[in-house]
Amino acid sequence: MNGFLKSLLDVFKEPSVVIGLIALLGLLLQRKSLSDTVKGTVKAFVGFLVLAAGAAVVSGALTPFGDMFQHAFGVQGVVPNNEAIVGEVLTEFGSQAALIFFFGMVVNVLLARFTRLKFIYLSGHVALYLAAMIAVILMANGFATWEAVLWGSLAQGLITTLSPALVQPWVRRVTGRDEVALGHTGGVGIWFGGLVGKVLGDARKSKSTEDLKIPQGLGFLRDTTVVIATSMGVIYLLVTLIAGAGYVESHLSGGQWYLIWAVMQAGKFAAGVFVILAGVRAVLAEILPAFKGISEKLVPAAKPALDVPILFTFAPNAVLIGFLASFVGGLLGMGLLVGLGTTIIIPGVVAHFMTGAAAGVVGNATGGRRGAVLGAFANGLLITFLPLLVLPFLGNVGMKNSTFSDADFGVAGFLVGGAAQWGKFAVIGLVLVSLAAVVAGSALAGRRRPATVSGTADEDGADAGHGRENTLTK
């Protein structure tokens, strides 16, 4: 009996096996054929192994970069990149993260079913990243696996329900509809960008970003892989030049010419991120369809919360302007951190591209061109300083020269991590109080406005679609 239990425990210690079993369960619930079930299970299993392989490549590129940065500036330099840090986390806490991810989806569906927050979080990749952050915080702060899975799943479900609800007024203003929501871990930053655009932007919205002519030569900035490779190449080269050829060639490159070494390390980083994304897509392609089908049956009035590109077609110019403004905010924030002498958060290109672009789109909707620039700039500052709040709670993973990038990670990580340092009961109290507040608040809202559906009748969404072509389905 003990041998059987040990074997079972060994099975669940392998995150790739846990992912495969979750995919198998989803495929069985969909009543797929034997052929499709075997194929989907194996693809999910192998997809996680692909993800782990990409994580090793990213780690191999970041480790010497961290050493070189510390030698050049005398401080630790951290690159906020979700794929890089998640790859590190999943190699150590992959089973816990996979279970939090799965049961967190269940909690999200239940909250949508029994409250007025009818948002089903379908951006599976960032939900998996969020689960990884929760797992490492709880496990690094003394939680047993079952405790981390239980309370982590409840926290995950709460976050993935509340984040779309927070941004929904701006989504209605951008799209002119209330049938879809935004599901992304940049929710807090995007909401803040819309708020800044509304307060500091052009109240009349007389000048839109879409009236501008953007040079076609900047089109490459919309390709994420190209942007990562190019920007990391510039960063690596700058730090390499400051560190000096002597140090790099004697301590890091094994005698290889230091400039070509820097270019190769940047390329490896971009390649590793590309491989991680391929693994994530392979895993989620087998898990999400089952979740979506089940949620649609249980919550007929639900709104799907989708990734940030759903907003991009409404203001393509704002996408590019938002990315650039957010990145400038990140550079300014990095300069401030240099002056403060703290850990340096190097602007993460992916985070500034995805969340900065979305903040630019909502900022344009709330405050015109000025709103797009200022809203995205505010997002850039936010995702530069928030990662600092999470680093102390990540244990050994926090020393890997990478961290979580988006604003939701910063806010949720700080709350959960801060509570975890007070003790297990503080985390339990935080989760239960938050859960009770969501349920009670929903019930009170239902009594006050019994005729409305979740979040459909606020001033921001009343006439947002007037005169605008709907491009959601393009």
The answer as to whether 159 is a domain residue is yes
Residue 344: DSSP 8-state: E
Q: What pLDDT, on a 0 to 100 scale, did the predictor assign at position 2?
A: 52
Residue 354 tokens read as 């995805």
The answer as to whether 127 is a domain residue is yes
What pLDDT, in 10s, does the model give residues 261-296? 999 998 988 888 788 778 777 776 776 676 666 667
Residue 68 burial (10 A CB sphere; 0-12, 13-18, 19+): buried
Q: What pLDDT, on a 0 to 100 scale, did the predictor assign at position 452?
A: 43
SS (H, E, C) 78-138: EEECHHHHHHHHHHHHHHHHHHHHHHHHHHHHHHHHHCCCCEEECCHHHHHHHHHHHHHHH
**Domain count within the chain:** 1
Q: What pLDDT, on a 0 to 100 scale, did the predictor assign at position 110?
A: 93
The answer as to whether 390 is a domain residue is yes
The answer as to whether 433 is a domain residue is yes
What pLDDT, in 10s, does the model give residues 84-93? 788 778 878 8
Which residues span the domain enclosing 371? Answer: 8-212+224-444
Q: Residue 462's CB: how many other CB atoms inside 10 A? A: 12
Strands 402-403 and 77-80: parallel
Please tell me the total number of residues recorded for the chain in this structure. 474
For residue 61, report the phi and psi dihedrals to the nearest 5 degrees: -85, -30
d(CA 192, CA 451): 29
- Would you place residue 470 in the very low, low, confident or very high pLDDT band (cuts 50, 70, 90)? very low
**Whether residue 455 has pLDDT greater than 50:** no
d(CA 232, CA 433): 42
**Whether residue 463 has pLDDT greater than 60:** no
Percentage of the chain lying above the pLDDT 70 cut: 85
The answer as to whether 2 is a domain residue is no
The answer as to whether 85 is a domain residue is yes
CA distances, 39 to each of 47, 50, 276, 305 (Å): 12, 16, 20, 28
Mean of pLDDT values over 161-170: 95
The residues that bridge with 120 in the sheet, in sequence order, are 304
Please provide the average confidence, as pLDDT, over all residues in the chain. Answer: 82
The answer as to whether 404 is a domain residue is yes
Mean of pLDDT values over 173-190: 89
**Whether residue 224 has pLDDT greater than 80:** no
The answer as to whether 466 is a domain residue is no
d(CA 39, CA 286): 9
Sign of the Cα torsion 220, 222, 224, 228 reads positive
What pLDDT, in 10s, does the model give residues 314-334? 887 888 788 889 989 998 998
The residues, any chain, with a CB within 8 Å of residue 207's CB and separated by 6 or more, are 368, 369, 370
Q: What pLDDT, on a 0 to 100 scale, did the predictor assign at position 451?
A: 44
d(CA 97, CA 93): 6
Residue 156 tokens read as 């995950």
Residue 402: DSSP 8-state: E
**Whether residue 454 has pLDDT greater than 60:** no
Residue 399: DSSP 8-state: G
d(CA 79, CA 232): 10
Decide: 322 and 357 in contact? Cβ < 8 Å. Answer: yes
- Would you place residue 220 in the very low, low, confident or very high pLDDT band (cuts 50, 70, 90)? low
**Whether residue 474 has pLDDT greater than 50:** no
What DSSP string describes 205-218? --S-GGGS---GGG
